[in-house]
Each structure stands twice: as C-alpha cells, then as structure tokens.
Amino acid sequence: MDTVAPPLPYEFPFNILPGLLSPTFRYDTLFMSIVVTALLALLAFACTRRLKQVPGRGQALLELLVSAFRDLVYSTMGPKDGRRYLPLIGTIFLYVWVSNMIGLVPTGEIFHKLTGDTNLYVHLGSHTLTWVGNMEPTRDVNTPWGLGIMVFFIMHVAAIMRKGPARYFDEYFTPHFGRFTWPLQNGVWRTAACLVLAGIWTGLAALVARLAGATGPRFWGPVSGVGAVALVWCLARLSHEPRRVGVPNILMFPLNVIGKGAEILSMSFRLFGNIFGGAVIIALLGTMTNQMALPILLQMFMGIFVGTIQAFVFAMLSLTYITVEIAEDEVEGAIEEGSAEPVAEAAG
Amino acid sequence: MAEWLDLVNDPQVLASSKYLAAGLAMGLAAIGPGVGEGYAAGRAAAGISRQPAQAGNLLRNMLIGQAIAETSGILGLVVAIVMVTRGDIANWAVGAALIGAGLSVGFSAIGPGVGAGLVAGKALDSISRTPESSGKVTMTMLIGQALSQNAAIFGFLVAMLLMFGRGADIRVDDWSALLPALGRYVGAGVCMGLGALGPAIGIGYAGAMAVEGIGRNIEHSGLLQRTMFVGVAVSESTAIYALVVALLLLMGMG
C-alpha cells in the first residue's frame, strides 16, 4: 500500500503565480473530470444508437443542442469556419456545463453518512489524499486554467496558420497610426537602403558631436534625435507609395501582448471565481442555518443558474476570440479603404 | 521602537485587520452591482411599458444580465467570507496583505457592476424597440458584460494572491521592514482596486452603444461587434497596467 505515492504533493492549489514552477495536483479534480467525461461519452453513445428520421427523445435532445450551437457558431464565423469549430465550441460548453452541474450531486452527503465528515480522506502509505465532497472540477483553479490555455493555443495557432506569421505579427502593432509593414510593402532593397542612409546620417551626427566634445546625454540626445529624423525622412522619401510613412507602433506591442494574456486569464478566472465563489457561499450558509430551504435555493441559483450562464459565457467568449483572431481585418480594411481613396484620386 | 512591533503583532490588532478587510471587501463591492442592476431593471420596466408583448423576453434577458453584473459582488462576498472564516493571523505582514486584498476586490467591483448594468439596460432598450434583433442583442450583451467583468476578475485575482500567495520575502522581526511591506501590500490592493474602476465603466459604455447599434442596424452586427472588440481591447489597457503594477508590488520587485 505504501508503494503508491502521488507524483506531486497535494496542497491547496493557489500557488498560481509565484509557484508556477511547482504545479499542484488534486486527485479529486482529476477523478471528477473523468466522471464528467464518462458521463458525456455515455450520453453521446446512448443517444446516437439507431438514428431515426423522426427522432426519439435522446436524439431530439442532442439535435436541439447541436442546432442551437450551429446557428450561433455559423452566424458568428460563417459556414466554412463554423463547420470546423462547431465541435470545439459545443464540446467546451458541454464539458464546462456538466462540470458545473456535477457539483449538485450530493457526494458530500454520502461521505457524511459514511465517515461523518463531508470530505473523504484516503490514506495511501504516508500520504493522505482528500476528496472534497460535492466537488466540481471547475472549482479547482487547474480546470478553467487548462481550458483557457487550450483555447489560447487554438486561437493563436489558427491565426498563424491562417494569416501567416508576418501578418499575425503585424497585428500586434494595431491600432496602426501608420503601417509597420513598410518593409513588407517596399521590399528588402528599399528597406536596406533606407537603413543605410539613416545610418550614414546618424554616423555623421555622431562624428560631429564627438568632435564637439560632447559626452553622455549631450552626445546621445542629439545623435538619437538626428537618427530618428533621418529614419523617418528616408522612409517618407523612399516609400513606394507616396505619403505612406510607416510609423512603427512599438508602443502598442507590449500592450497587445499583455492584452492577449489578459483575455485568457480573465476568461479562466471568471469561470473559476463564479464556481468557487458559489461553493464557498453555499458551504458557509449551509453551516450557519438549520433550515433545509436556504441551501437548496442557493444551490438552484448559484449552482444551476450561475453555472449554466458561466458555461455559456465561457463557450461564447472562446468563439468570439477565435473568430476575431482568424478573421480578415475588416476594421483595418475599412481604415485602409478610407485612407487609400484620396491618394488614388490624387494620383489619377 | 520595539513596542511598535509588539503592538502590531498583538493578536487582537491582527484579528482586527481581517475583519476590517472583510468589511471593506463586501461594503465596497456592493456599490457597483446595485447601481447597475437597478438601471437594468428600470430599463426593463420602460421596455415592457413600450412593448408589453415582449415582457417574457425582456424579463429573461434582464435576469441574465443582472446575474452577470452580480458576479463582481459575488467575488467580493466570497473574499469577505474567506477572510472572516480564516484562522489566526500569523503576523502583521499577513494582516496588511488581507487589508490589501479587501481593498483590491472591493474597489474593483464598483466599475464592473455599473458597466455591466449599462450594457444590460441598453440591451433591453434595443430588444423592446426591435424585438426581432433579440438573439444578436443578447449575445452581444453577454460578451460586453463579460468583458466589463474582466476588471473585477483582475481584482479578485490580486486579492487571492494577497490572501494565499507566498508573496515577497519579508522578515517579520525587523522593524525597518514593516512600513515598506505594509505599503507594498496595501498599495497593491489599492492599485488594482482603483485601476479597475474606470476601464470597466468605459467598457460598459462601449458595450451599451454597441448593443444599441445592433438593435438599429442588425445587418452590420458583425462589424459592430468587431469594432467594439478593438475599442474594448484598448480601453482595457489601464486595467492591465494596474494589474502589472500590482503584481510587481506583490512579487517584491522594485
């Protein structure tokens, strides 16, 4: 019995940020996740035996679900992409929804009847595993976090595959005040010529400043100023299209990068916070009162209502983020159209 | 100065910090969702008076919108409960962290409540005006509200880190380490809390105008949603800055 040891220490799973290097592991989350998966597989299996033209009850239920999500996904993504991502969105919703609902199964009551405590403690050698009663997989921070990471990878890999690395990378500089794709539009030689010319001017300025005996800030100030002006001037003069000076939008880059991370962080923690919060409130108010009605009413609101809404919000946010990532820039396209018109008119 | 250290390490003083923090957390967190949900309910009533046939639809959407606006209040309640039921506070550093956590989740719940309520109210207006756009309007309302709640979630995250994270290494016996660490934890809480206030209301306004636009011009709902997204992403910036600074303070850098 003592040869079975958990691979990682079981502890309260909140070492999220400082302890990213020490992930936590909860067996009850894992077990309930497997139960959820088994339930979904069983449901799918049972309802799709002997598919009929006039559906029976199970088949009708699944058809209702699939058609509702199909309308939603197709109207957001279009039929081609929608067909590809519909299984993902539907599965995310079902998985999160059943994970939230499985907290209504009164395992805590069963444990209380068996062992007198709402948690079940399993002793394996020197380790003790705790199985929390009424456990939902989404109550552990790992489950929503894992789903969020999955959606994150899907979003960005799909965007890179769809748009190519150059355009994907360029989007991190939006909103553009000019275009950073100056090198892409004007080719390697013009870019090189531009940099060489600007470099020559900067070198001349550096020489003059050094001859004048400037050091430190008095040296770097004017030199960098001359370098920046020279670069912008060269970009303007050597540009293939007139009046399209590229202002590299460096400042927006870290903001966009952190923004992408914040999207997924917020999505995961919204789900976690709602479900964990509901569990804490129900636990506390359950201990404070002897009435039977209050915990049941709370379970109805927190468990069913909030659980369903948060599952739906999670699925829909995944859908929206994926759509925005793989969409062709309509907003940027509109801006392009707006600014290209007067140039085209002026040229011809 | 040793008596200062004894004072702040006194168990009664330490216990008062967790109660104060719980009060801050729930008291502040109740402001925003109240205003927002009331506004949504008011717009629902106005919508029903304009279009009584849509009463069921309006009521349903009002409840859904209110439930999401409630999220930030729930997060404040959870933090307050976890603090009240917490055991003994070990030392003044933990006490300061608890106060920071209360401020963080409390202040950060004000903006999202108001913002999400704005979105819900305008969505109900749109549905009552053009009932056939109800599906799209509801979807966009959910997205806008969820984006407005981002700020509350950042505040909740910082509060959780303050309550349960390991935090910076501080020597609790050293008098000279007291004030900087106090400032650091309370500062992180105030930073995230106040930093979440503005962006959430702004994002709520953006979402509200987007749903109103979709109600008026449903063919361009896709373009409207994408524009809303770009605007929301930029509006979120300062909340992200606040989150970054709060995390820097927590990690003990700078």
Residues A50 and A95 in one domain: yes
- A239 alpha-carbon distance from chain centroid: 38
Q: Give the pLDDT score at B128.
A: 93
Tell me how far apart the alpha carbons of residues A117 and A114 are, in angstroms, rounded to a whole number.
8
Question: A335 to chain B nearest CA, in Å?
Answer: 12
Chain A: closest CA distance from residue B4 (Å): 30
Better-predicted residue by pLDDT, A88 or A14? A88
pLDDT for position A247: 55
Q: What is the pLDDT of residue A2?
A: 33
Mean pLDDT (whole number) for A96-112: 85
Task: Please indicate whether, in this complex, the C-beta atoms of B166 and A331 are within 8 angstroms of each other.
Answer: no
d(CA A279, CA A132): 11
- Considering the domain architecture, whether residues A86 and A125 belong to the same structural domain is answered as yes
SS3 A128: strand
Of residues B30 and B92, more confidence is placed in B30
Question: In the predicted model, what is the mean pLDDT of residues A255-266?
Answer: 84
**Residue A200: is its pLDDT beyond 80?**
yes
Q: What pLDDT score does A213 carry? A: 81
Mean pLDDT of A291-318: 81
Cβ of B244 within 8 Å of Cβ of A258? The answer is yes
A331/A337 Cα distance (integer angstroms): 10
Q: Which residue of B has its CA nearest to A324?
A: B226
> Which of A5-14, A151-160, A258-267, B56-65 comes out lowest in average pLDDT?
A5-14
Q: How confident is the model at residue A11 (pLDDT cuts 50, 70, 90)?
A: very low
* pLDDT surpassing 80 at residue A18: no
Record: contact B142-A313, CB cut-off 8 A: yes
Cβ separation B251–A18 shorter than 8 A: yes
User: Is residue A188 scored above 80 in pLDDT?
Assistant: no
Contact yes or no for A324 and B226 at CB 8 A: yes
Pair B65, B38: CB distance under 8 Å: no
Residue A225 has pLDDT above 80, yes or no: yes
Residue with token string 């109805």: A300
pLDDT at A334: 41
Q: pLDDT value at position A19?
A: 44
Q: Provide mean pLDDT across the span A181-208.
A: 77
Mean pLDDT of the residues in chain B:
87
Across A68-92, b (16+ Cβ under 10 Å) vs e yields: ebbebbeebbeeebbeebbebbbeb
CA nearest to A268 within chain B: B153
Tell me how far apart the alpha carbons of residues B134 and B221 are, in angstroms, rounded to a whole number.
Answer: 12
Contacts of A90 (CB under 8 A, 6+ apart): A65, A66, A69, A73, A315
* pLDDT over 80 (residue A317): yes
Position B101 scores a pLDDT of 92
* Section B125-133 average pLDDT: 92
Torsion over CA: A336, A337, A338, A340 (sign): positive
pLDDT band at B112 (very low <50, low <70, confident <90, very high): very high
Among A142-151, B188-197, B234-243, the range scoring the smallest mean pLDDT is B234-243
Find the mean pLDDT for residues B152-165.
86
Interval B31-53: pLDDT, tens: 999 999 999 999 999 999 998 99
Q: Name the residue range of residue A219's domain.
A: 176-238
Q: How would residue A273 be classed by pLDDT, with cut points 50, 70 and 90? A: confident
Residue A36 pLDDT exceeds 90: yes
Ranges A120-134, B161-175, B222-236: which has the least confidence: B161-175
Q: In this prediction, does ipTM exceed 0.90?
A: no
Q: A30-34, A133-137, A164-168, A272-276: lowest mean pLDDT where?
A: A164-168
Residues of A in contact with B154 (CB under 8 A): 262, 265-266
Looking at the domain assignment, is residue A253 inside a domain? no
Distance CA B119, CA B205 (A): 7
A252 domain residue, yes or no: no
Give residue B215's pLDDT.
92
Residues A187 and A112 in one domain: no
What pLDDT does residue A176 have?
Answer: 57
Q: How far apart are CA A156 and CA B163, in angstroms?
A: 33
Instruction: Identify the band that residue A185 occupies on the pLDDT scale cut at 50, 70 and 90.
Output: low
pLDDT grade for A126, boundaries at 50, 70 and 90: low
Asked whether B205 and B213 are in contact (CB, 8 A), the reply is no
Tell me what percent of the residues of chain B surpass a pLDDT of 90.
54
Number of domains in chain A: 2
Q: Mind telling me how many Å the CA of A123 is from chain B's nearest CA?
A: 26
Q: Rounded to a whole number, what is the distance in Å from the CA of B166 to chain A's nearest CA?
A: 7
| pTM of full prediction above 0.80 | no
Per-residue pLDDT, averaged over B140-163, amounts to 90
B143: nearest CB among A18, A266, A316: A316
Distance from CA of A206 to the nearest CA of B (A): 34
Write the residue in A273, A305, A330 that is nearest to B75 by C-beta: A273
Closest of A244, A269, A154, A316 to residue B64, by C-alpha:
A316
pLDDT of A241 strictly over 80: no
Q: Which strand (E) or helix (H) includes residue A120? A: strand A120-124
Highest mean pLDDT among A65-69, A181-185, A188-192, B7-11: A65-69
CA proximity to A227, closest of A194, A179, A180: A194
Confidence band for A187, pLDDT divided at 50, 70 and 90: low
For residue A22, the number of C-alpha atoms closer than 13 Å in the C-beta half-sphere is: 12
For residue A131 the two structure tokens come to: 């199985």
CA distance A128 to B245: 39
Length of chain A: 348
Interface test with B, best of A72, A269, A331, A337 (most B CBs within 10 A): A269
How many alpha carbons lie under 13 Å from residue B35 in its C-beta half-sphere?
15
CB pair distance less than 8 Å for A316 and B157: no
Are A315 and A206 within one domain?
no
Contacts of A265 in chain B (CB under 8 A): 153-154, 157
pLDDT at B104: 94
pLDDT at B175 over 90: no
**Looking at the predicted structure, is the pLDDT value of residue B170 above 60?**
no
Closest-CA distance of chain B to residue A56, Å: 28
Question: Is residue A143 a part of any domain in this protein?
Answer: yes
Measure CB to CB from residue A17 to each of B67, B77, B161 and give the nearest one: B161
The pLDDT of B69-90, averaged and rounded, is: 86
A143 shares a domain with A69: yes
| Residue whose tokens read 């909103």 | A175
Tell me which of B82, B136, B139, B224 to substitute to probe the interface with A (most A C-beta atoms closer than 10 Å).
Answer: B139
What's the average model confidence in pLDDT over A211-225? 82
User: How much is the average pLDDT of A93-122?
Assistant: 83
Nearest to B78 among A256, A277, A312 (CB): A277
Distance from CA of B227 to the nearest CA of A (A): 7
The predicted structure's pLDDT at residue A35: 92
Q: Which residue, among A15, A16, A17, would best test binding to B if mutated, counting the most B CBs under 10 Å from its CB?
A: A17
As given in the structure block, the two tokens for residue A35 are 């139960």
Provide the 8-state DSSP code for A245: -
For residue A37, is pLDDT > 90? yes
Q: Residue A247: inside a domain, yes or no?
A: no
Residue A101 pLDDT > 60:
yes
Residue A118 or residue A94, greater confidence: A94
Give domain limits for chain B: 2-251
Interface of A with B (CB under 8 A): 12, 14-19, 72, 75-76, 174-175, 255-256, 258-259, 262, 265-266, 269-270, 273-274, 276-278, 280-281, 284, 305-306, 309, 312-313, 316-317, 320, 324, 327, 330-331, 334
Mean pLDDT throughout B232-247?
86
CB atoms within 10 A of CB A187: 11
Q: Searching chain A, which residue's CA lies closest to the CA of residue B166?
A: A18
| A227 and A128 co-located in one domain | no
Q: What is the mean pLDDT of residues A245-260?
A: 69
Q: Phi and psi at residue A128, in whole multiples of 5°?
A: -120, 120
Q: Which of A31-35, A211-215, B148-152 has the lowest mean pLDDT?
A: A211-215
Contact list in A for residue B227 (CB cut-off 8 A) is 331
Residue B93, pLDDT above cutoff 70 = yes
The matching CATH number, chosen from 3.30.70.260, 3.40.50.11720, 1.20.120.610, 3.30.70.1560, for B2-251 is 1.20.120.610
Do A180 and A220 belong together in one domain? yes
Look at residues A238, A261, A292 and tell me which one is the last residue of a structural domain.
Answer: A238
Residue ending a domain, among A221, A238, A255, is A238
